Amino acid sequence: MSTATLHETTQHESHGDVHHDHHHQETFITKYVFSQDHKTIAKQFLVTGIIWAIIGGLFSVIFRMQLGNPTATYPWLEDLLGHWAKGGKLQPEFYYALVTMHGTILVFFVLTAGLSGTFANFLIPLQIGARDMASPMLNMLSYWFFFLASVIMMSSLFVQTGPASGGWTIYPPLSALGEASMGSKIGMDLWLVSMAMFIVSSLLGGLNYITTILNMRTKGMSMTRMPLTIWALFFTAVLGVLSFPVLLSGAILLLFDRNLGTSFYLSDIVVAGKILPNEGGSAILFQHLFWFLGHPEVYIILLPAMGMSSEILSVNSRKPIFGYMAMVGSLFAITILAFLVWAHHMFVTGLNPFLGSVFVLLTLLIAVPSAIKVFNWLTTLWKGNIRFTPAMMFAIGFVSLFISGGLTGIFLGNSALDIHLHDTYFVIAHFHIVMGVASFFGMFAGVYHWYPKMFGRYLNNTLAYIHFWVTIIGAYLIFWPMHYEGLAGMPRRYYDFSNWESFKMFGGLNEFISLIAIIVFAVQILFVVNFFYSIWKGRKVTTQNPWEANTLEWTTPVRPGHGNWPGDIPEVHRWPYDYGKDGKDFIPQDVPVGADESKH
Amino acid sequence: MENTQTTTNNKIHPHKFTLWMGIGSIVMMFAGLTSAYIVKRNQSGWQTFDLPSAFWVSTILIVMSSVSVHLSVKSFKERGMNSYRKLLAITGVLGVAFIATQFIGFKEFWNVGMTLQANVAFSFLYVIVGLHAVHVIGGVIAIIVMSLKAFSTKKRNYSIVPVELIATYWHFVDILWIYLLIFLIMIR
């Protein structure tokens, strides 16, 4: 072992030197395209994520127009979508394709790759004090696999029979049989290939994040001195590395069923009067494999938002985070429980009721760490010297949405209530608030907070406040009424409700929701304009530490080069939450502990 | 917790750590497949099967290759570069032979009517064993590249890390095979 240790040490030393030499001979290609700098890769993830978010959001606007006013025709829609909107009316098949792609894009391409990809890459080396990731090469590959996945998914939008349309959960038999629907043809194949690339990308990224956090921390940065963002990103990566392979195995079996005539998921199926030869398969098997990833995926999306909000709430309350170890412990508890609750998505599949009650118990247990987190966020804010920066507004908004959406989770986690609520708009409302919008708020908070570090400029504040208020009010106006529709039994994934006597009364409400959705989407475009405009024209950052924060990223130059710190990496002497201590407003992590200083 | 204080006194190389995490990830994939297998086995229409005899030859080959890669690392550490090169190449050859016997086993299986589509039990066998073989092929490619480097006169590699990485991965696919073999014998 001694040789290995010796080698390890020299490798670290040379690693630092190599960076200094490299970074002056970068060409445009190595600096902006095939970059191995974690900061550039983070920006690549962010910009790709933003493009996907616009596309995914636009899809929701289009299908909301159909739901809001099922009889209307929009001639421009035909110009945009061709035969999928014949006569200006969205075709039912394409409605399903839009819903499917909206889910796929937002869940995977925006809130997984766009969120973790951006902030894990950007923040991990900067906040733990490393020059780059453990393997910059794998990191670059992670982005380019994501890019490849994006190109394939994008191209599926342009094939004759349309993209996948069996729902983002791609349950068989719709996903396993080419003849089942339009979207089950080539669109489904492209979906699977794209997702395989996507899984490779997240695995490469996740392995790198974990290794970097555990092995590359600067001197003095013990695990318990890490910012909560890093803890959250660490648990996110662990979840991804352990759950995505299971989805991959499910997808491999699905590919065999689709293309090689096996019957893993298929049995006793009749398509258009023809009996298929498949025998002995089980569609429920796929659901188990899918949700074994699918549920952890919820936390893969949510944990980074939790971590960033914790950090931003503490910085802008000028107070230490309340209950640091409890925050870490609850992140850990959520990570463990995330693997033990998948079958709560399957209460109505004929699951053994006893097994169901076990999953009810485990599901409701998640309320405990969630409540601890909420309590700690609120107590961090309590009597704080709060600065309402845009990032802070979004972080507070995140807490609000997490509470609102979390409470409806208690309804849905109950298997008896779920019989009524399953596949209704109640579910839509629940997961959009708690996972979708809440994580978006965490992401926005992160972008507003770290934008000065990313681009050396500020975003426009006025536009940011408009963005915040319209988005939070809009989000509640869109999803709150859906709870009532769901309780009344209105099912999800329907193309047109106007023929149902029982749902006719929601016509006006649906129109209202659609109108708000369009307004909220327009405001997101405002954010995108602000984002890109400010990269070149925003107010320049002049101080090294604009938010007066303690974490290490603010000890780098305003525009850090490859390698992050021009000289030595700073040494860490304290935890990152010394705010309002001993009469000082803040004490950065690299300040040595004074002789007369009190312990935190 | 004492080894978490600084970067410099960590015991494990980052690349090795990444490999271990990657192995964890592969384990999860096979855990997914084998648990799917167990679930399906308890449902109707499952046909039991005997493993093709060629798989026993495979097992002997891969265990031998694990021994040879272990000895190869040992030689490298003792700077016995000649035997390191030879043993590495032998491991590569044994790996190729393993793949070949797996293929023969599949053919044996197929020829008695146990085709991919005939029964879901057989489908599982092909997928699980096939995916393991894909992981072995990945290792064989790495060993071939490593051997070519070792035999080339131009470049001398004196870092132990890549050698140990390959050895660890190779032992892992060996252990994975033995686990799958026992699994497929015990639960069928």
| Interface with A, mutate which of B5, B7, B34 (most A CBs under 10 A) | B7
Nearest to A49 by CA among A358, A506, A440: A440
Q: What is the pLDDT of residues B35-77, one digit of tens each?
A: 999 988 888 788 888 899 999 999 999 999 999 999 999 999 9
Q: Which residue has the tokens 């660490």?
A: A234
Alpha-carbon distance values, A197 to A135, A191, A565, B27 (Å): 19, 10, 34, 19
The answer for A 364-423 residues in CB contact with B (under 8 A) is none
The amino acid present at A137, given as its one-letter code, is M
Q: Which residue has the higher pLDDT, B152 or B179?
A: B179
Q: Rounded to two decimals, what is the model's pTM?
A: 0.91
CA dist B146 and B144 (Å) reads 5
- Spatial contact of A140 and A36, defined as CB atoms under 8 Å apart: yes
**Across the strands, what pairs with A457?**
A540
DSSP letters, A234-259, are HHHHHHHHHHHHHHHHHHHHHHHHHH
The encoded tokens of residue A33 equal 């395209």
CA dist A429 and A481 (Å) reads 8
- Spatial contact of A581 and A600, defined as CB atoms under 8 Å apart: yes
**Alpha helical stretches, state H, A488-545:** 507-537
Domain residue extents for chain B: 62-188
> Residue A252: its chain B contacts at CB < 8 A?
127, 131
CA dist B144 and B42 (Å) reads 42
| Long-range contacts of residues A406-410, Cβ cutoff 8 Å, at least 24 apart | A406/A367, A406/A370, A406/A374, A406/A434, A408/A433, A408/A434, A408/A483, A409/A363, A409/A366, A409/A367, A409/A434, A410/A364, A410/A367
Q: Which residue has the tokens 């032992």?
A: B171
Please name the residues in contact with A416: beta carbons below 8 A apart, sequence gap of 6 or more.
none
A207 with B32: Cβ contact below 8 A: no
User: Shortest Cα distance from A311 to chain B (angstroms)?
Assistant: 22
- Spatial contact of A96 and A1, defined as CB atoms under 8 Å apart: no
pLDDT tens per residue across all 600 residues of chain A: 333 333 333 334 334 434 444 445 677 777 788 899 999 999 999 999 999 999 999 999 999 999 999 999 999 999 988 888 998 999 999 999 999 999 999 999 999 999 999 999 999 999 999 999 998 999 999 999 999 999 999 999 999 999 999 999 999 999 999 888 888 999 999 999 999 999 999 999 999 999 999 999 999 999 999 999 999 999 999 999 999 999 999 999 999 999 998 999 998 888 888 888 888 888 999 999 999 889 999 999 999 999 999 999 999 999 999 999 999 999 999 999 999 999 999 999 988 999 999 999 999 999 999 999 999 999 999 999 999 999 999 999 999 999 999 999 999 999 999 999 999 999 999 999 999 999 999 999 999 999 999 999 999 999 999 999 999 999 999 999 999 999 999 999 999 998 899 999 999 999 999 999 999 999 999 999 999 999 999 999 999 999 999 999 999 999 999 899 999 999 999 999 999 988 899 999 999 998 778 765
> Residue A260: its chain B contacts at CB < 8 A?
116-117
CA dihedral sign of residues A188, A298, A408, A316: negative
Cβ of residue B47 closer than 8 Å to a chain A Cβ: no
Nearest to A317 by CA among A378, A381, A379: A381
Q: What is the pLDDT of residues B109-129, one digit of tens each?
A: 999 989 988 888 999 999 999
CA dist B97 and B104 (Å) reads 10
Residue B53: Cβ within 10 Å count = 11
Domains annotated for chain A, with CATH where assigned, are 349-541 (1.20.210.10)
> Residue B161: its chain A contacts at CB < 8 A?
4, 7
CA dist A142 and B30 (Å) reads 23
Residue A347 CA from chain centroid, whole number = 25
Distance in angstroms between the alpha carbons of the first and the last residue of chain B: 44
DSSP letters, A373-418, are HHHHHHHHHTT------HHHHHHHHHHHHHHHHHHHHHHHTSHHHH
Please name the residues in contact with A600: beta carbons below 8 A apart, sequence gap of 6 or more.
A320, A574, A575, A577, A578, A581
| Interface with B, mutate which of A215, A291, A572 (most B CBs under 10 A) | A215
User: Shortest Cα distance from B183 to chain A (angstroms)?
Assistant: 17
Looking at CATH, the fold of the domain delimited by B62-188 is given as Four Helix Bundle (Hemerythrin (Met), subunit A) (1.20.120)
Q: Omega before A173 cis (within 30°)?
A: yes
Q: Helix and strand tally (H, E) in chain A?
A: 19, 4
